[in-house]
Amino acid sequence: MLPYRDTYLANNKAEGIAVCGVYCQNDSIHVGLYWNYGGEKMVIHFLNGNNIPVQPVEAPDFAAYLFNTITNFPEFLLPSISAFAELISQNKINGFQFNRAGGMYDGGKFTFSDGAYTGKTWPEKFVNCGVFVIALLNTYDFQLIDWDSWPNVDPLHLDFLSTWLRYYNIPVAEWPLYYNKTRAIRGKHILVSPSTQTHPSRYTETHQLAEELLSQLNP
């Protein structure tokens, strides 16, 4: 079982970076990225395209979060990623976008060659809290998961994707077009990925760990 915030902070005083997440319901875990650098202990988490807060880890909401240190992230990049995250949260970075094929995330990073994100409509489609964490780390050439090992969403278990498709008013007749372009990446996978034996984390092992965590959280 991963430690909750207070236990984690008591045992991890050194500067570093971690994935953190809170159990929501069913198999849903909301995740974010925590850093301890320069006297700051902050969390950034993607709520939606217009709301990507950076908050002190001491905030009451984070007491229920589980933490998992990313041990192999280059520590010398902490000043950059903490600055970058804060600027994104403050909406001061114009035109950050995900490398995507069409409206879908393809495992890439934030790029700045045009201002496509400024509109904040299409680009955040299918970007969830987990994808945001992956993309933020990918921007620093750090791969949390082995993207190619990840399966597409299973059309028989589409609850989370259906929610997004409905939210963005995608006609039901067009839903199958998205099934083969969306990876089955969930917050639960991101939260456990630093604990896998191989890095970047491959799907099979990550999924197994995620299911074990869920069974502990929701026995």
129 φ, ψ (degrees, to nearest 5): -60, -35
Whose Cβ is closer to other proteins: residue 109's or residue 183's? 109
Structure tokens belonging to residue 17: 């970076």
Q: How far is CA 123 from the centre of its chain?
A: 16
Residue 119 as a binder of other proteins (CB under 8 A): the answer is no
With CB under 8 A as the contact rule, the residue among 12, 28, 55, 139 that binds other proteins is 139
Q: Which of residues 41-70 bind other proteins (CB under 8 A)?
A: none
Which among 47-55, 105-113, 165-173, 195-203 is the span making contact with other proteins, rule CB under 8 A?
Answer: 105-113
Whose Cβ is closer to other proteins: residue 27's or residue 86's? 86
Neighbours of 129 (CB within 10 A): 21
Q: Count Cα atoms within 13 angstroms, Cβ side, for 5.
A: 21
Structure tokens belonging to residue 75: 């520590």
Q: The dihedral of CA 156, 109, 132, 202: what is its sign?
A: positive
Whose Cβ is closer to other proteins: residue 26's or residue 80's? 80
Residue 151 as a binder of other proteins (CB under 8 A): the answer is no
Q: Interface mask (CB under 8 A) for other proteins, residues 66-95, using x and -? A: --------x-xxxxx-xxx-xx----xxx-
Residue 140 as a binder of other proteins (CB under 8 A): the answer is yes
Report d(CA 54, CA 19) in Å as an integer: 14
Whose Cβ is closer to other proteins: residue 3's or residue 16's? 16
3 φ, ψ (degrees, to nearest 5): -80, 145
Let me know the angle formed at the C-alpha of 3 by 198 and 82, rounded to the nearest 5 degrees.
Answer: 70
Whose Cβ is closer to other proteins: residue 110's or residue 178's? 110
Residues near other proteins (CB under 8 A) are 37-38, 40, 74, 76-80, 82-84, 86-87, 92-94, 110-113, 139-140
